[in-house]
Amino acid sequence: MPDPSAASTLPLSILNEVFGYTAFRGQQADIVEHVTAGGDALVLMPTGGGKSLCYQVPAIARHRQGRGVTVVVSPLIALMHDQVGALEEVGVHACFLNSTLTQEDTQRIEREMMAGRLVMLYAAPERITNIRFQAQLASLHERGLLSLFAIDEAHCVSQWGHDFREDYLQLSLLHERFPDVPRLALTATADDSTRADMIERLQLQDARVFISSFDRPNIRYALVEKDEPRKQLIHFIREEHEGHAGIVYCQSRKKVEDTASWLTEQGINALPYHAGLDASVRQRHQDRFLREDGLVMVATIAFGMGIDKPDVRFVAHLDLPKNIESYYQETGRAGRDGGEADAWLTYGLADVVNQRRMIDESPATDEFKRVQRGKLDALLAMAESHDCRRVRLLAYFGEASQPCGNCDNCLRPPATWDGTEAARKLLSCIYRFWQHGQQRFGAGHLIDVLRGKVTDKVQQYGHQSLSTFGVGADLSENQWRAVLRQLVALGHVVAEGEYNTLALTDTARAVLKGEVQLTLRESVEAPKRGRVSKGGSKPAGGAVPADLVGEALQRFTDLRTWRAGVAREHNLPAYIVFNDATLADMARVAPQTLGELGEISGVGAKKLQAYGDQILDLLRA
């Protein structure tokens, strides 16, 4: 490890000395070099790819060159405390300015900033347009102390994106006022329209664009048919993720509440999170999720952006996301640490119908709805696909790939069947309803008629007389639901109105006429993976690397206990003190000297100085 007093401005030395890492990953080195030299950049990198270092290392390098303060624009006030805490832990002088601070703190931070002592200042986008803040930036700029703008979660500027924020539109101001200050925009969203929008709105036409692969190989994708979702969920958690941290996404606030209490009753440590909860409750739940091991957060999509907890082992969806980008973003919160993680989704006919309806009934323009429908179609196609999920996911982002071997379809190729005849029966039954009484009906009645069930409703409408009555007795109710779901997903049938009554679309005609062949998925259960280790019963909770046994396991457990104490004292999540991978390395290597300890990945100069002796004592004991 180099001598910290030498205060090198070389990116690699900074990576080593400050962060304790030996090498840059992927495109980090190129990005850091380009930005440190004063170039503009747009960085598209998946979650967990290491975006933070792309601006933190240039910020440190440029500060050491005497260029002053880097302003980091981040939409996540609720996370700024931890982000800044992580930097202070590695000895980088960073602060945040937001509405939660006292006047005294604000003044202190402003003094640090104006003196150019701060390396990084985190601010929410609304602050950028604040007159007072603008004047402060101008003063810094005049004195050559405005080093760099880093715009995190840059996709928030795009209306096509899923997290559009009005305030982000104002960020072009930075470029207009301070055209010579380099800018770095970062996002984990990569679809084409969002990308083009970001470049235009942030005026990044001249920026160098760095695009990483969006593959997250450690995430296993599974999309299972909804049967009894709660049972399926609890089964999934118990079988695969007992004692692990995870996120369960639901669409409505009520469902979030209900699911969280139900999981709690089942003995799972779960908390709710949605926009209807008090801000203080939300913050408390978020803090607990970040700070405690093995907690399950049941949430609406209000939760998750910027959550950098590395050991989220699963993301489960009880409802269908809006589109592939949302699905990718939400599932991407699993496995940031590179360890095995699951993205598990359960969906059924109602999900398909609801998502379509939400678009139809939204007040948006026709153009916007058209785009949204296209995006939903891509997701539905992926849900109904019989081939590799990852290939489809990556193809959506313009990346070609080979079957991954780590998704449900690869691991257990679903059986398919020729559903052309079944589809024709179903479609013609909908057609006969209309012909018979100019009426539309929902899924339940349709399936009763197909299966030849004489119900009150069948008698009331005289539907026994239809030519389609009983033509589908060979398939079960569930099988018919699956056929209908796939027909809705494919856009041949729509469900409309308060009662979700079914109608044919224009494309149904070709199917009815037998001009189109339909290969449908047969229902299968998601494959299980044999977990090497499970937390819960292990001493400190959370997952334990399988290779740690005997004394090494004991050391790991002791290190975790020690880490929990430090984290509490500093009011930070444990992984900010040291992440699990670093602790596991310490437990394996059992370093005896500060020099040896400093060699471990994730141990930089400041942490070595602050904690080195305590850790060595603990390891010797």
By CB under 6 A, the count of residues binding ligand ADP is 16
Name the DSSP letter for residue 415.
P
* Helices 366-384 + 477-489 axis angle, to 10: 140
Q: What is the per-residue DSSP string for 193-239?
A: HHHHHHHHHTT-TTSEEEE-----TTEEEEEEE-SSHHHHHHHHHHH
d(CA 89, CA 84) in angstroms, rounded, equals 9
217 touching ligand ADP, by CB under 6 A: no
Please identify, among the stretches 173-181, 272-280, 408-416, 527-535, the one whose residues bind Zn ion according to the rule CB under 5 A: 408-416
Beta carbon nearer to Zn ion, 219 or 597: 219
216 touching Zn ion, by CB under 5 A: no
Please identify, among the stretches 20-28, 107-115, 408-416, 612-620, the one whose residues bind ligand ADP according to the rule CB under 6 A: 20-28
Residue 148: partners with Cβ closer than 8 Å, 6 or more residues away = 35, 55, 58, 59, 62, 67, 70, 71, 181, 182, 183, 184
Residue 179 φ then ψ, to 5°? -65, -20
d(CA 440, CA 442) in angstroms, rounded, equals 7
- If one counts every other C-beta atom within 10 angstroms of the C-beta of residue 395, the result is 15
- Out of 3, 6, 7, 25, the residue judged to bind ligand ADP by CB under 6 A: 25
Residue 404 contact among ligand ADP, Zn ion, none, beta carbon within 5 to 8 Å by kind: Zn ion
- Out of 16, 21, 244, 255, the residue judged to bind ligand ADP by CB under 6 A: 21
Residue 463 contact among ligand ADP, Zn ion, none, beta carbon within 5 to 8 Å by kind: none
Residue 341 contact among Zn ion, ligand ADP, none, beta carbon within 5 to 8 Å by kind: none
Task: Please compute Rg for the chain using Cα positions.
Answer: 27
Q: Which residues is 297 bridged to in the sheet?
A: 247, 271
213 touching ligand ADP, by CB under 6 A: no
Burial 333-354 (b: 16+ CB within 10 A, else e): bbbbbebbbbbbbbbbbbbbbe
Window 290-309: residues binding ligand ADP (CB under 6 A): 308
Residue 407 contact among ligand ADP, Zn ion, none, beta carbon within 5 to 8 Å by kind: Zn ion
Q: Name residue 60's amino acid.
A: I
Least distance (Å) between residue 311 CB and Zn ion: 24
Residue 347 contact among Zn ion, ligand ADP, none, beta carbon within 5 to 8 Å by kind: none
Residue 388 contact among ligand ADP, Zn ion, none, beta carbon within 5 to 8 Å by kind: Zn ion
Between 35 and 54, how does the x/- string for binding to ligand ADP read (CB under 6 A)? ----------x-xxxxxxx-
d(CA 124, CA 152) in angstroms, rounded, equals 10
Residue 74 contact among Zn ion, ligand ADP, none, beta carbon within 5 to 8 Å by kind: none
Token duo for residue 370: 């058209």
- With tokens 């929902």, the residue in question is 442
388 touching Zn ion, by CB under 5 A: yes
Please identify, among the stretches 24-32, 202-210, 279-287, 373-381, the one whose residues bind ligand ADP according to the rule CB under 6 A: 24-32
Burial 149-184 (b: 16+ CB within 10 A, else e): bbbbbbbbbbebbbbebebbbebeebbeebeebbbb
Least distance (Å) between residue 21 CB and ligand ADP: 4
Window 566-605: residues binding ligand ADP (CB under 6 A): 579
Least distance (Å) between residue 50 CB and ligand ADP: 3
Residue 410 contact among Zn ion, ligand ADP, none, beta carbon within 5 to 8 Å by kind: Zn ion
336 touching ligand ADP, by CB under 6 A: yes
Residue 47 contact among ligand ADP, Zn ion, none, beta carbon within 5 to 8 Å by kind: ligand ADP
d(CA 135, CA 67) in angstroms, rounded, equals 18
Contact 151, 202 (CB under 8 A): yes
Q: Which residues is 94 bridged to in the sheet?
A: 120
Binding site for ligand ADP (CB under 6 A): 21, 24-25, 28, 45, 47-53, 308, 310, 336, 579
Binding site for Zn ion (CB under 5 A): 388, 390, 404, 407, 410
